[in-house]
Chains A and B, each alone.
Chain A
Amino acid sequence: MEEFEPRIIAFLCHWCTYTGADLAGTTRQQYPPNIRIIHMMCSGAVDTIYILKALIDGADGVLIGGCHPGDCHYQTGNYKARRRVGILKEIFHQVGFTEDRIWLRWISASEGKLFADTVTQMVEELKKMGPNPMKKLWLA
């Protein structure tokens, strides 16, 4: 059997992490092609529904990328994201799903290497976890 290749859906804020992901490209950092990026204006715009739907639709992991604390272009969007993701993870924990499939990371526009490293690491972790069971459970 072929090795399991996890799928990551990423929501990246325009001003920092999306631009950081661009920089990863410009500087030719290499990371595995398991990630699909959706551009958001701010991490604070990532609705919890998006995260849930991504997991139910079959993503094995969700990455939310925003500006470092204090750097959000819209002042406090990343704090809103942090709170929201915190609550969602807590709910996951309570109902017995692993919350480790949801990653919230602060990656600035100058941290192209950090972006590449984060994706590489996330793919490795998700490989260890195996496929996300949520979709099957949802359809069952």
Chain B
Amino acid sequence: MKKIGVFICHCGINIAGTVDVKAVSRETGEMEDVVHSEDYIYMCSDPGQLLIHNAIREKGLDGVVVACCSPTMHEATFRKAVESEGLNPYVCEIANIREQCSWVHQGDKERATSKAGEIIRSVLEKLRQNEALETLTMPLTKRALVIGGGIAGITASIDLADSGYEVILVERQPSIGGRLDQLSLTFPHLDDARCILGPKKAEIANNPKIRVMPYCEVEEVKGFIGNFDVRIRRKPTYVDWDKCTACGVCLEKCPVESLSDFERGLTTRKAIYTGALSENSGKPVIDPIHCRHLVDGTCTICQEVCPEGAIRYDQGEELLEERVGAIVVATGYDLFPMEKIGEYGYGRIPDVIDGLAFERMLSPSGPTGGEIRRPSDGRIPREVVFIQCVASRDPERYMPYCSRVCCMYTAKQAKLLKQKIPNSQPYIFFMDVRTDSKGYEEFLQGAIEEEELIYLRGRVARVFQEGDKVRVWGEDTLTNRKVELDADMVVLATAVVPSEGIKDIAARLRATADKHGFLTEAHIKLYPVESPTKGIFLAGCGQGPKDITDTVAQASATASKIQSLFSQDALLQDPLVAFVDPEICSGCGICVQVCPYEAREMDEYRGISKVHEALCQGCGACIAACPNNACELRNSKAVQVFGMMETFAEGAEGSLADG
């Protein structure tokens, strides 16, 4: 750059009251390559900006420094001004002489003035080596993939489709709905889960923009934000869904039964079954592990009874390729496998069940038709013990975190128990009761008062079978007494954990997950619904345990982030990103490891590293880590930083000489 103009702002008296702007202007006018130097009372005003326009026109400036307030205030203003004169916006730089000079050194005008001069000189050093840069533009596929059809995935899909974008909703179960399908009434208003979910499912079915892909899984994801190439595997259902009318005859006649996952093992299902079994709605799939035909060919009953001839024992899997611009991960949760917890007898004692099983019992569509009955003998229980924080908040042995929904659903379940069986007595063992959302504390207090719930603060030490009772040994730490209860049934509020296979999904998406498998955000406060991997968004319990309200709010937030992404014509990216000098790079790969955004990758052919500009956030981590100084940030190259430092050090010489 040979023709640089420097413009020094007085900012009224904000700068000029402390810094001798005239002196600084004279000094900068003497600096190398500076062909124009002037000061003005308000540079950001129209007449101020006009000075820049005129100087560019009259003197043919090829670089501009404005010495004024912080770049966070007016960098954009002055870059725009420069751009309108046909210069590249990146040849304009700001020298911060207000926030970081005049305002903080009001008592020392002399030194503030020489500091301001040095700041301008250092910015000149940087500017000399700036490149003219263009905003990066990349094509954008305005279609989203949503993984997981729980309430999170459903909400995000509907929001996106309503704003006109196509959505592919992939669900690995035979039907969408997720855990909400298993719940009974929901806290805090006790509305039926079906009444929340039903209309949403109908909306999905009637929305032509949403393509639901049940019984499918995401196999492979390539590409980047704006253009991901996704391979989706449709698992064989062994039923031709185009022909099937969901009449349910096959389900009736199939002779093979196994425990139903959906009903949490409270009842059985057939080898041919539908997603939400109890409803007999939706189209069925055949479970290849239990189906006699698929195991050893000894049965063809469903094929015989199907009036539509829809059974296809030889159906194979299908692979589909789709291109999408953004991906929502809404894979939800499982409950901590209770078999792994020795002390509560789950799996060994039939009358010890988990929270979801109890939801099924409470649900009118559940295996007991909404009646609460002991799994062992079908008797109606009287004394029911609820244990909270099972495997949650237990850093030594299980999960250190709070599962967030258990306090509330336990209160809800105990209340519903009392309403269904008025002479029953619920006992609740707890550590703390956390009711941190709107209406939750009121719900809890109401339940305790109206239903006479007994809350016992303390951990349960042992649960064991004695006769037809389940004996519970615990303690009440508030009264410091041992508690022994003979219960008819025990309900465990077990930890919420990420869905099985989350780590594989995360790896496929190059998204990050914490040590428990919950997906991590780009920033917990600033970018809570974005994954660090650009173009991947989060919703629901896959990101962390939460209730329905928070799940829906998060899913809508995610959808709106994608809407603003898709509202652009093309992907625009700040060009201040990393680049590699292929002559110097040794291919050590350190940069690939340090980049938090998966923006660095090895070029297998050339044996050196490259930068995916669409993903790079310009943080500079790779630059500092590169042992060969082979990569740099555009317009913040090491020589530029060195240049600035030397200016400051020369200043030091001066002051030492003075001293």
Give me the interface of A with B, judged by CB distance under 8 Å: 1-2, 4-5, 7, 9, 19, 21-26, 28-33, 36-42, 44-50, 53-54, 57-60, 70-71, 73-77, 80, 84, 116, 131
| A75/B100 in contact, CB under 8 A | no
CA distance A94 to B101 in the complex (A): 37
Q: Is the CB of B112 within 8 A of A74?
A: no
Q: How many A-B residue pairs have CB under 8 A?
A: 145
- How far apart sit A29 and B105, CA to CA, in the bound complex (Å)? 9
User: Given A25-B98, A30-B106, is A77 in contact with B619 using a C-beta cutoff of 8 Å?
Assistant: yes
Given A21-B100, A25-B98, check contact A73 B523 (CB 8 Å). yes
Contact of A44 among B99, B522, B621 (CB under 8 A): B621
Q: How large is the interface on B (under 10, 10 to 19, 20 to 34, 35 or more residues)?
A: 35 or more
Q: Which candidate, B219-227, B465-473, B580-588, B642-650, is the interface stretch facing chain A?
A: B642-650
A24 to B101, CA, bound (A): 10
Q: Which 10 A-B pairs have the closest CB atoms?
A: A45-B620, A25-B99, A57-B649, A25-B103, A74-B619, A22-B99, A36-B648, A58-B649, A58-B652, A33-B111
B72 within 8 A of A: yes
Q: Taking A22-B100, A84-B624 as contacts, is the C-beta distance between A42 and B619 under 8 angstroms?
A: yes
User: How many angstroms between the C-alpha atoms of A38 and B636 in the bound complex?
Assistant: 11
- Chain B residues with CB under 8 Å of A46's CB are 624
C-alpha gap A4/B241 in the complex (Å) = 85
Q: Report which of A41, A70, A73, A77 forms a contact with B636, defined as CB distance below 8 A.
A: A41
CB of A6 to closest CB in B, whole Å: 9
Nearest to A19 among chain B residues (CB) is: B72
Measured CB to CB, the closest approach of chain A to B626, in angstroms, equals: 9
Kindly specify which of B114-122, B298-306, B395-403 makes contact with the partner chain. B114-122
For residue B108, CB closer than 8 A to chain A, the reply is yes
CB distance from B15 to the nearest CB of A (A): 11
Does B147 lie at the interface of the complex (its beta carbon under 8 Å from any beta carbon of A)?
A: no
- Tell me the B521-545 residues at the A interface (CB within 8 Å): 522-526, 532
Distance A76 CA – B72 CA, assembled complex (angstroms): 23
Cβ-defined partner of A33 (8 Å) among B105, B522, B636? B105
Residues of A within 8 A of B649 (CB): 7, 9, 54, 57-59
Q: List 10 A-B contacts (CB under 8 A).
A: A4-B659, A5-B655, A25-B98, A31-B104, A39-B71, A45-B619, A57-B645, A59-B645, A70-B524, A77-B621
B623 at the interface (CB under 8 A from A): yes
Partner of B624, one of A30, A54, A80: A80
Known: A42-B620, A58-B649. A75 touches B522 (CB 8 A): yes
Contacts of A84 in B (CB 8 A): 624
User: How far does the alpha carbon of A42 sit from the alpha carbon of B595 in the complex, in Å?
Assistant: 13
Complex contacts, A26 vs chain B, CB 8 Å: 99, 103
**Closest beta carbon of chain B to A79's beta carbon, Å:** 10
Which of B104, B621, B623 is A29 in contact with, Cβ under 8 Å?
A: B104
Interface status of B633 (Cβ within 8 A of chain A):
yes
**In the assembled complex, B658 has its CB within 8 A of some CB on chain A:** yes
B105: which A residues are within 8 A, CB to CB? Answer: 30-33
C-alpha gap A19/B118 in the complex (Å): 20
